[in-house]
Amino acid sequence: MDPVLNPFTPNAGARPPALVGRDDLIGQTDVLLRRVLSGRTGQSLLATGLRGVGKTVLLNRFVEMAATLGYKSAIIECEKQGGLPTKLALRLRAVLYELDRMGGLSQRVKDAMRALTSFAWKVNPDGSHSFSMGVDARQGIADSGDLAEDLTDLFVAVGEAARDRGTGVLIGLDEVQYLTPQELGAIIMALHRSNQLELPIVVIGTGLPQIAALAGEAKSYSERLFDFPRVGSLNEVDAKRAISEPAAKLGVDVMDDALAAIVAATHGYPYFIQVWAAEAWNIADEASKTITVDDVESAQSIVQAKLDSSFFRVRADNLTRAERQYVYALAALGPGSHRSGEVAQRMNRNVESVAPIRQALQRKGMVYGVGRGQTAFTVPLFDDYVRRTIEEPAALRRANSN
């Protein structure tokens, strides 16, 4: 069928044509946003899940919801090299300009601009980014050099400015697992103080499953500030709806056995569903206006090649030799999570010697801890990719042939 009309969106972070199976979390977020805007407190959100479950899509949806309620948003994609303070200063600069344009002169907005100027010069002393807001820095506020203290001052000033304008501020953080412990701890401390003062600031973050533990390590009271909803694969009913509903809107019928085949192949993971459905659409006959199980089966080699060359390979190519050995050993044990001792045994090493490798892979977002001493991949079906495409490292062959 016509690829131009293809409704499916196999792109990272792109909103699927049917955002299904997330109604509870969307409803929870709506309540949170409305409560905070009305002067009440609520638990901010750190949504966790594997790669490809649609966390970024949800964050973008929450930003849309906040905008309809009048919120001003500062959205940041966290990166491995850090840099949160500078990014946050840039985004909040835009937020404060929006608040300034909402009406006449506001001393609270002006004070927030001065606080941001102080904060920005402290985190960006070389002046590599322009933060000029036409006001002088506010001495003694957000300029101590202690990130947690300064970010707290900044959150309070911005929250007071938003309340003065009768609105709220949403701070969205994607890929939270890449924040340093210092950065994450500072965000938690700043939000804690904002909640105590009942200021209209909401933090919504998304990231890999380990962020709940990281938040707890950063600040012991994080579990009282945040809810940690899990975003997983879609159940069978919702997975089928994600395929059939967009097709039906364009007059295309997806046969029951074709739906079942896609759901089985994708295990209900939203990104994989979009890839499979998009390729099955392109193969299907234009005249019949029907996607059959034969179309799905014909798409298999195309889908696998696309996922292997992009979604999977981009992560595998970033591994060191030692990390590759660990990844292969973990994959060889099969799907799901496995004890660190099992991985070490397959590598013919002791647990203590492989612990640094596991930690490095966690920092890269490749694996995460499941319960006590268990490890799993953050990328769905990555174990299958490794077994199919990566040759067993020579060191592991020698270890397992003895």
Q: What is the pLDDT of residues 83-93, one digit of tens each?
A: 899 999 999 99
DSSP-derived pairing of the beta strands 226-227 and 201-207: unpaired
Mean pLDDT to the nearest integer, 376-381: 95
What is the H or E stretch that residue 68 is in?
A: helix 55-68
Q: How many CB atoms lie within 10 A of CB 113?
A: 26
Q: Model confidence at 307, in pLDDT bands (50, 70, 90)? A: very high
Reported confidence tier of residue 129, pLDDT bands at 50, 70, 90: low
Averaged over 298-309, what is the pLDDT?
95
Residues of the chain with CATH 1.10.10.10: 318-401
SS3 331: helix
pLDDT at residue 400, rounded to an integer: 65
Range 335-355 average pLDDT: 93
Instruction: Please say whether the dihedral angle defined by the alpha carbons of residues 178, 180, 183 and 185, taken in this order, is positive or negative.
Output: positive
19: amino acid identity, one letter? L
Of residues 213 and 401, the one with the higher pLDDT is: 213
Looking at per-residue confidence, does 140 or 398 come out higher? 140
pLDDT band with cut points at 50, 70 and 90 for residue 135: confident
| DSSP code per residue over 365-401 | TSEEE-SSSEEEESSTTHHHHHHHHSPPPHHHHHHHH
Better-predicted residue by pLDDT, 310 or 32: 32
Please identify which residue in the block is written with the tokens 């994609």. 77
Domain(s) of CATH 1.10.8: residues in the chain: 234-315
Average pLDDT over residues 350-355: 92
pLDDT 10s digits, 262-294:
999 999 999 999 999 999 999 999 999 999 999
First to last CA, the chain: 54
Query: Is the pLDDT confidence value at 402 over 60?
Result: no
> Rg of the chain over CA atoms, in angstroms?
24
Residue 190: predicted pLDDT: 96
* 217-to-50, 84, 180, 196, 211 alpha-carbon distances in Å: 21, 19, 11, 21, 10
Please name the residues in contact with 148: beta carbons below 8 A apart, sequence gap of 6 or more. 182, 185, 186, 189, 190
Q: Coil, strand, or helix at residue 347?
A: coil
What is the C-alpha to C-alpha distance for residues 344 and 13, in angstroms, rounded to an integer?
A: 35
pTM as predicted: 0.91
Given a contact cutoff of 8 angstroms between Cβ atoms, the answer to whether 272 and 233 are in contact is: no
pLDDT band, residue 125 (cuts 50/70/90) = low
Per the DSSP assignment, residues forming a β-bridge with 201 are 169
pLDDT attached to residue 397:
65
Please give the torsion angle defined by the CA atoms of residues 177, 12, 94 and 229, in that order, rounded to the nearest 10 degrees. -50
- In the prediction, which pLDDT does 10 show? 86
Q: Which residues, listed in sequence order, are joined to residue 377 by a DSSP beta bridge?
A: 367
DSSP 239-281: HHHHHHHHHHHTT-EE-HHHHHHHHHHHTT-HHHHHHHHHHHH
- State both tokens at 164: 């003065």
Indicate whether 192 pLDDT > 60.
Answer: yes
Residues 206, 36: contact at Cβ < 8 Å? Answer: no
Q: What is the pLDDT of residue 134?
A: 81
How far is Cα 250 from Cα 252, in angstroms, rounded to an integer? 6
Q: How many CB atoms lie within 10 A of CB 63?
A: 16
What is the rounded CA–CA span in Å between residue 148 and residue 208? Answer: 23
Please give the pLDDT value at position 132: 72
Query: For the chain, where do the domains classified as CATH 3.40.50.300 start and end?
Result: 23-227
pLDDT-above-90 percentage for the chain: 80
Closest CA to 168 of 260, 99, 230: 99
Whether 167 has a pLDDT exceeding 90, the answer reads yes
Tens of pLDDT, residue by residue over 208-222, are: 999 988 898 888 888
Residue 34 has pLDDT above 70, yes or no: yes
- In contact, 204 and 59? CB cutoff 8 Å: yes
Query: In a 3-state reduction of DSSP, which class is residue 362?
Result: helix
The pLDDT assigned to 266 comes to 96
- Return the CATH number of the domain spanning residue range 318-401: 1.10.10.10
What are the structure tokens assigned to 311, written together?
Answer: 């979604």
The CA–CA distances, whole Å, from 106 to 110, 111, 170, 194 equal: 6, 9, 20, 20
Residue 75: predicted pLDDT: 97
The amino acid sitting at 137 is A
Residue 254 near residue 243 (C-beta atoms within 8 A): yes
Q: Kindly tell me if the per-residue pLDDT of 118 is higher than 80.
A: yes
- The residues near 126 (Cβ < 8 Å, ≥ 6 apart) are none
Across the chain, mean pLDDT equals 92
Whether residue 399 is predicted with pLDDT greater than 80 in this model: the reply is: no
- The architecture of the domain spanning 234-315 is Orthogonal Bundle (1.10)
**Can you name the CATH fold of 23-227?**
Rossmann fold (3.40.50)
CA distances from 56 to 207, 255, 291 (A): 9, 30, 29
Nearest to 108 by CA among 141, 142, 156, 39: 156
